[in-house]
Copies of this chain bind each other. A is one copy, B any other.
């Protein structure tokens, strides 16, 4: 049996029913996983590239379900402010000045940061996702790109942005050997009218892509929607026809029990973004209940300017800890469940679980290796606990996406790290001086 890549002698978390393989091997051919299992049971394998992975843990690449990648260049702009003040006084005025080049440089920086943190797939919502697509293609990452639409009381603007979104979907859905998928990204129910949302839903259906939206992020936005339409955000979305298994709802912090049950019934997916929810003081989503109701939940970092990091391992830890404190119960969201949320859960939330999210033969080879030979990952008594509670992005040693090695021994192969950082710094300084 021939392989392009053979990973040897590692501990493997396949993320299938909590399976842990002691001395495991993984073979990759033409971008697909062709073998996962104990090394001694593997068929004789000849591989072009052999990765000796003693002391490392192999697992599916991390999935970041909600971010705004280009915002990395605004990391550190106006910290510790009210969301409204932050947006109106700092972020929106800067965003109005963003050029395609700025967006490209910000997206590249985020792609670089995500690779270094073991994120192999991310779901993005922003303007100019065509520009983000170029960065994703170059970086080698997998992504689901949702061109954003903010109508903001201007129906013409809404129409125009939807048209732009459609162009991006048509051009980039399935692009880069299928690594790039698309969705449409109406910002939220309080920034897009019901009639526009209805049209977005119909358009997305006809294009056979999903929809990515912010939902019930803060008390203020929930109140705003109720004031505008006299009913809750979920009810508003239901009437537009948007609720369904292709809808990815970010946040869901302030949902009633009844609204959660509605989301579950329609098969809506949720991105849980614990660090951002804390940093912006949005509140704590009731994820334990969401899971009990059968909602598929992935985790997200949110944009790098409201986190301020794209370290999904940090997010997984925060995800677990924040649920424990929400329910005052240390048993809530235990390590295995938390890690599932960042792998197969995220893959399901993005409609990609047939391709990624676990290590199984036939799936695309999105694999990371975490180096466990570190003081903070010693002793190795509980692999899941060490990954969730003790590991951080910097422990990720190797990143493979679609069968291609993007990082090995922490050296990124697809991007010039120094150049990406230099351009991002220049872009940020230039943007602030405009």
Which residues of A are interface residues toward B (Cβ below 8 A)?
72-73, 75-77, 79-83, 86, 109, 112-113, 116-117, 219, 275, 277-281, 283-284, 307-311, 314, 318, 321-322, 324-325, 327-332, 334-335, 373-376, 378-382, 384-386, 389-390, 392-395, 417, 420-421, 424-425, 427-429, 432
Contact A75 B381 (CB under 8 A): yes
A83 to B112, CA, bound (A): 40
A417's closest neighbor in chain B, by CB? B375
Measured between beta carbons, the chain B residues less than 8 angstroms from A219 are 328
Contact B376 A309 (CB under 8 A): yes
Contacts A112-B375, A279-B389 known; list 15 others, CB within 8 Å.
A76-B381, A79-B334, A79-B335, A80-B334, A113-B376, A117-B376, A278-B321, A279-B330, A281-B327, A281-B329, A281-B332, A284-B325, A311-B376, A311-B392, A373-B421
The listed residue (B76, B325, B384) touching A382 by CB distance below 8 A is B76
A218 to chain B, nearest CB (A): 9
Contact A324 B281 (CB under 8 A): yes
Contact B109 A324 (CB under 8 A): no
A80 to B388, CA, bound (A): 12
Measured between beta carbons, the chain B residues less than 8 angstroms from A420 are 375
The listed residue (B310, B334, B386, B429) touching A376 by CB distance below 8 A is B310
Measured between beta carbons, the chain B residues less than 8 angstroms from A385 are 75-76, 79, 308
Contact B321 A425 (CB under 8 A): no
A205 to chain B, nearest CB (A): 37
Measured between beta carbons, the chain B residues less than 8 angstroms from A379 are 73, 75-76, 424-425, 427-429
Contact A80 B331 (CB under 8 A): yes
What are 18 contact pairs spanning A and B, CB under 8 A?
Answer: A81-B330, A83-B330, A112-B375, A116-B376, A117-B376, A278-B321, A278-B325, A279-B324, A281-B325, A281-B330, A281-B332, A308-B386, A310-B376, A311-B376, A318-B321, A374-B421, A375-B421, A394-B395
Measured between beta carbons, the chain B residues less than 8 angstroms from A307 are 389
Measured between beta carbons, the chain B residues less than 8 angstroms from A82 are 330-331
The listed residue (B332, B375, B392, B428) touching A109 by CB distance below 8 A is B375
Question: With A109-B378, A379-B73 in contact, do A390 and B309 touch (Cβ < 8 Å)?
Answer: yes
Pick the most buried of A279, A310, A314, A393: most chain B CB atoms within 10 A of its CB. A279
A379's closest neighbor in chain B, by CB? B428
A43 to chain B, nearest CB (A): 32
A370 to chain B, nearest CB (A): 13
Task: Please list the 9 inter-chain residue pairs (A to B) with the smallest Cβ-Cβ separation, ordered nearest first.
Answer: A76-B382, A379-B428, A278-B321, A80-B334, A394-B394, A76-B381, A113-B375, A308-B389, A76-B385
